[in-house]
A and B are shown apart, each in its own frame.
Chain A
Amino acid sequence: MPYVPHTAEDVREMLASIGASSLEDLFRSVPGDVRLGEPLRVPPARTESEIVAWMGGLAARNRRVDDRPSFLGAGVYNRFIPSAVDSLSSRGEFNTAYTPYQPEVSQGTLQAIFEYQSMIARLAGMEIANASMYEGATALVEAILMAYTVHGAGSRVLIAEGVHPEYRRVAETYFRHHPIRIETIPLGVGGVIDPGALQERLNAAGDGPADVFAVVIQNPNFFGCIEDGPAVEAALKGAAGGSEDAAAHRPLLIAAVDPISLALLAPPGSYGADIAVGDGQSLGNEPSFGGPTFGFFATRMAHVRKVPGRIVGETKDREGRRGYVLTFQTREQHIRRERATSNICTNQGLCCLRGAMYMTLLGERGVRQVAERSCRAAHFARRRVLEVPGIKAAFDAPFFQEFVVTLPRPAAEVYRALAQKGIQGGLPLDRYFPRRTHEMLLSTTEMTRLGDVDALVAALREVLGTQKSAPLAPVLEGGRR
């Protein structure tokens, strides 16, 4: 076997020491009728240089977000990652470290996670953050589950239409066999939640306002628009006329936020969010076809015993020296079993470490610069794109780094035409919203250059100025010429 490092002599020695005469002996207990009885259909082994060439050929068929002007976002972004993040995070001490159950041999890992938690809590304006979740969608679901436990009375969660559709789908999967019921707060005309409509939903049907245990918003929302956090907070407080009973059963506010936007926009803690979650890909992690990434999770100290996942705490050892440990472990399933509030018992160690390194290297000022540039690029791009005849803005709400335009032709068609001109267009919205056939979500980051916007606008003029393009091909096909 070419991939097994043992020599025939090694095998003989091992067999002899356990008293087996052949490898066949080891499988004698497997019944004959479940045995394959033939060699595995695997191609013959190749040399390393042949394999490298073959894999290289496969990889060359990939498109990247940075190999041509790209305006694709919707949750995964092309961001600058300092090379120090790569070199530091690939150090063996970090890269191969195991879960820090034994604090005495894991102080490096634990301190890094503690610092990560502190930075996330600060960014989000919240009191405490955990050691990270898998990614944004499951972080949101865990937040909903936590709110369900904390609230203790309701069974309905209101999720704004502006929350990423994939996050919503993940929630639907989780709650398929669960008492929790999802209801939608429709997107207002301007592209954000209408607080009046929200309040109506809160007071409507079900078992009364106490039956809603959480409200979920995304900020900026999936359409790029900035939600009015304080207005949402006020709507929650004002539900059911602000009676004492209503106050006691006020729904928890969960905000799914973009981590870079937190450097510029009012953070969730400032508008009364009980739990803040989001995806950390923008913090030092490559897009990598969607992952791996990490989810961040922050909340109030009062709820710490209901928080899912790991939490690192600061403490003192026997000699009074500062040290770090996994704390509040009695919440977790390896101690509480079925009574744990969540069954996650891990974190995205390497990815959140990269996030911590990114935040540390850029600092508060650097992250803010990234946010400002992303925002300015979006406003500049939108102004230029709207100058193209036939293109209209879909919403008029303030926006951060993404915006939706309505095109005179189906967005999926325009996307393909742009690809043929070497431009990675924005996301055609009918991928998630079948009726939004002519809408496209354009995204910019601090990596977007003036030349990219020029190229996009020129291509749009050409595409929209000519006849309909070639026969239909699958949506989001790569830019093959």
Chain B
Amino acid sequence: MTRPTDLKYTPTHEWLRVEGKVATVGITDFAVEQLSDLVFIDLPKVGAEVTKDSRFGEIESTKTVSDLIAPVSGRIVAVNTDLIEHLDLVSQTPFAKGWMVKIEMSKPAETGNLLSAADYQKQLDAEDH
């Protein structure tokens, strides 16, 4: 799959779209494929504080439960509640309608450490799944 090149990526398979001070976060196609059949998602409430590299929720498939890791620190300003009833939005369109949360960043400089689409692909190749 050709991944959007305007996004940033994390080693834990989240993606980030930055618009001003707000970052939209979701999980990548690779994560979706590894998880297989998605059954449940647990997302935080609007207003919750998150810290870079810590857990902000979890996603459950028939195989396992995976933590969702925040790529940046800040405050949750929006949550995609459509996912509760329509979790298939994550599997169908992980980079668009499958977005999970929007974070108002407290330290925008943190995005500098994230991976480009090319670097993310390199990591996947190196892990050779």
Contacts and interface: CB of A to CB of B under 8 A. Distances in A.
B113 interface: no
A305 interface: yes
Contacts of B63: 330, 335
A153 to B, nearest CB: 13
A138 B42 CA distance: 28
A365 interface: no
Nearest to A331: B65
Nearest to B60: A330
Interface string A94-114: 000000000000000000000
Between A330, A331, A339, the greatest number of chain B beta carbons within 10 A of the residue's beta carbon is seen for: A330
A335 B67 CA distance: 13
Interface string B30-52: 00000000001010000000000
B40 A305 contact: yes
Contacts of B61: 330
A383 interface: no
Contacts of B60: 305, 330
B2 interface: no
A336 B63 CA distance: 10
Interface in B57-111: 60-65, 67
Interface string A315-357: 0000000000000001100011001000000000000000000
A336 B40 contact: no
A336 B59 CA distance: 12
Which of B61, B64, B65 counts the most chain A CB atoms within 10 A? B65
B118 to A, nearest CB: 32
Q: Is the interface of B mostly helix, strand, loop or mixed?
A: strand
A415 B7 CA distance: 78
A330 B64 CA distance: 5
Interface residues of A, number: 6
Size category of the binding interface on chain B: under 10
B84 to A, nearest CB: 13
A406 B63 CA distance: 58
A335 B64 contact: yes
A144 to B, nearest CB: 22
A339 B66 CA distance: 10
Contacts of A339: 65, 67
A336 B60 CA distance: 11
A335 B61 CA distance: 11
Contacts of B62: 330
A336 B42 CA distance: 15
Nearest to A335: B64
B106 to A, nearest CB: 23
Contacts of B65: 330-331, 335-336, 339
Contacts of A335: 63-65
Nearest to B65: A330
A335 B60 CA distance: 11
A332 to B, nearest CB: 10
Contacts of A305: 40, 42, 60
Contacts of B64: 330, 335-336
A98 B60 CA distance: 27
Interface string B2-44: 0000000000000000000000000000000000000010100
Interface of B: 40, 42, 60-65, 67
Interface of A: 305, 330-331, 335-336, 339
6 contacts: A305-B42, A330-B60, A330-B64, A335-B63, A335-B64, A336-B65
Given A305-B42, A330-B63, A331-B65, 14 more contacts: A305-B40, A305-B60, A330-B60, A330-B61, A330-B62, A330-B64, A330-B65, A335-B63, A335-B64, A335-B65, A336-B64, A336-B65, A339-B65, A339-B67
Query: Top 6 nearest A-B pairs by Cβ distance?
Result: A330-B65, A330-B60, A336-B65, A335-B64, A330-B64, A305-B40
